[in-house]
Amino acid sequence: AGAGAGAASRLLRRSRPRTETAAAMRFLSPIIPSLTGLALASTSSPDVRVPPSDGGTSDANPLLRSWSTEPYHLPPFSEIRPGHFKPAFEVAMTEHLAELKSIADSDDDPTFDNVCAAYDRAGHLYGRVASVYGNLCGSLNTDEMREVQTEMTPILSRHGSAAVTTPGLFERIRAVHGMRDSLDLTPEQ
């Protein structure tokens, strides 16, 4: 939050008189961490279409398509509706579990890159959808959004449990952890 707030503050100071800057920072300070997180969650990944459940007339789900053409690569909030979340999560959770299963089922000897780094990259789409969901759950207090929350809470909980209990995944992580002293890892790794 500090880095995002500092950058925003410097930008505002260069472009506005001091009183306007102070007022803008009071307004922006609470939302800068959320915007920073959403920007980090955005990606230039290709558009993904949700399988239509209405006979093929559905448009692309804005939660699943690329945000690379959106201002600051932020989600297209004006297009997102509460009904987009369940199908987006279904696609994202399936993809996430497939990525984790691929790591766990790999025949390659476990290494930092093919286990830990791959684990870190897994679930990018899930994280992107979850970032917007969390943001709107905290700010969009409508009956429709509350219904989505009620429906999705147990589904997301089950997904979290399935993700951390993927058969074979822990064993591969433990194998890399066991050889960490013999690997040429950076302090961050």
| Amino acid identity, position 107 | D
Mean pLDDT lowest among 10-24, 42-56, 96-110, 164-178:
42-56
pTM above 0.75, yes or no: no
What is the spatial distance between Cα 125 and Cα 117, in angstroms, rounded to a whole number? 16
What is the spatial distance between Cα 137 and Cα 28, in angstroms, rounded to a whole number? 19
* 118 HSE (CA, 13 A, CB side): 21
Residue of higher predicted confidence among 99 and 24: 99
pLDDT tens column, 147-158: 999 999 999 999
Say if CB 35 and CB 1 are below 8 A apart. Answer: no
pLDDT tens column, 17-36: 445 444 444 444 444 444 44
pLDDT band at 59 (very low <50, low <70, confident <90, very high): low
Residue of higher predicted confidence among 189 and 16: 189
Token pair of 76, please?
A: 């297209």
**Average pLDDT of span 74-101:** 96
pLDDT at 46: 45
Average pLDDT, the chain: 79
Say if CB 99 and CB 64 are below 8 A apart. Answer: no
